Amino acid sequence: MCRERAAKRPSNFGGYSDIPGLLRSPFATQDRSHKKPRVMHAQLLCYGQPLEPAKECRPVMTAFAANAALLLIDLQAGIHHPRLGRRNNPEAELRMGELLAAWRLDGRPVVHVRHLSRSVDSVFWPGQPGCEFQPAFTPLASETVFDKHVPDAFANSGLERWLHARGINELVITGVITNNSVESSARSAGNLGFDVVVVEDACFTFDQHDLRGRLWPAEDVHALSLSNLAMDYARILRTQQVLAGCTPQVSR
């Protein structure tokens, strides 16, 4: 289920031990010398204290490939329904818009993923306004749209085949919600061998109850989800860092 527009990386994880002051990951002792270091800004500990995002630990950026794809996940009107509750990252859509504008300006491939729910009470149930793309993220005729029915954008969608056919190895993922469709899709992409970046300030989620009834703030749900991805599936960067990586002449 695809509409047209423009791989393989080993999974990356080098631990956090080569960043001064950062606690060593328990996985750092494994033989993963072929993998890239991942930096997680949301809730890393520096000498046991939370890090300020993108300040103390700034990764060395390399330029993204000219065909690095921007993956925009589930940016549909229904995600703003009040019944979904309180969210984090209130400026996430601004960051997503900055990334989309940069990708379009550079002529890099943009992929829009749309969720068509099988549940009639879903905000993404087909045939009602919540299923439509938000106006700010309406695909251009030259951009590609993949429809999905489950959180994972790669499940029975043809996305993997489409990327391989175009020699696309690098994916920059944004969208909603962090701990569901974003995390699920990023995990699959990492497992399939793509070089994945998830943009932490261009995603968001909602407050969530656990199975014991405890309410977790959206900020914590978001941070833990990104921490899971940083372990072995994706690099976690901020919009400013991604944009710097799209502009090789800029040194940061």
pLDDT in tens, 211-226: 999 999 999 999 999 9
Average the pLDDT over each of 86-90, 117-121, 133-137, 238-242 and give the range with the smallest value.
117-121
Residue 251, pLDDT above cutoff 90: no
Band the pLDDT of 39: cuts 50, 70, 90.
very low
End-to-end Cα spacing for the chain? 40
Instruction: Report d(CA 234, CA 194) in Å as an integer.
Output: 9
| Per-residue exposure over 112-127, b if at least 16 CB sit within 10 Å of its own CB, e if not | bbbbebeeeebbbbbe
What's the rounded mean pLDDT across residues 168-174?
A: 98
Model confidence band, residue 127 (pLDDT cutoffs 50, 70, 90): confident
b or e along 212-227 (b: 16 or more beta carbons within 10 Å of the residue's beta carbon)?
eeeebebbbbbbbbbe
* pTM beyond 0.85, yes or no: no
The average pLDDT across 147-176 equals: 97
Q: What is the mean pLDDT of the chain?
A: 80
The confidence score (pLDDT) of residue 229 equals: 98
Among positive and negative, which fits the CA dihedral 154, 176, 195, 64?
A: positive
For the cut 60, the answer to whether the pLDDT of residue 44 exceeds it is no
Q: What is the mean pLDDT of residues 168-184?
A: 97
How would residue 210 be classed by pLDDT, with cut points 50, 70 and 90? very high
The structure tokens listed for 22 are: 């950062």
Q: What is the pLDDT of residue 252?
A: 35
- Residue with structure tokens 């065909």? 67
Question: Please, which residues have CB within 8 angstroms of residue 238's CB and are 6 or more apart in sequence?
Answer: 41, 53, 54, 199, 200, 201
Q: Cα(150)–Cα(228) distance, rounded to whole angstroms? A: 20
Report the pLDDT averaged over residues 36-49.
38
Q: What confidence score (pLDDT) does residue 2 get?
A: 53
Average pLDDT for 140-151: 96
Q: What is the pLDDT of residues 49-108, one digit of tens each?
A: 444 444 443 444 458 999 999 999 999 998 999 999 999 999 999 999 999 999 999 999
Residues 6+ apart with CB under 8 A from 97: 136, 137
Residue 128: pLDDT band (50, 70, 90) is: confident
What architecture (CATH level 2) is domain 2-245?
3-Layer(aba) Sandwich (3.40)
Q: Domain-by-domain residue ranges, the chain?
A: 2-245
**Is the pLDDT assigned to residue 28 strictly greater than 60?**
no
Distance, CA of 74 to CA of 29 (rounded, Å): 37
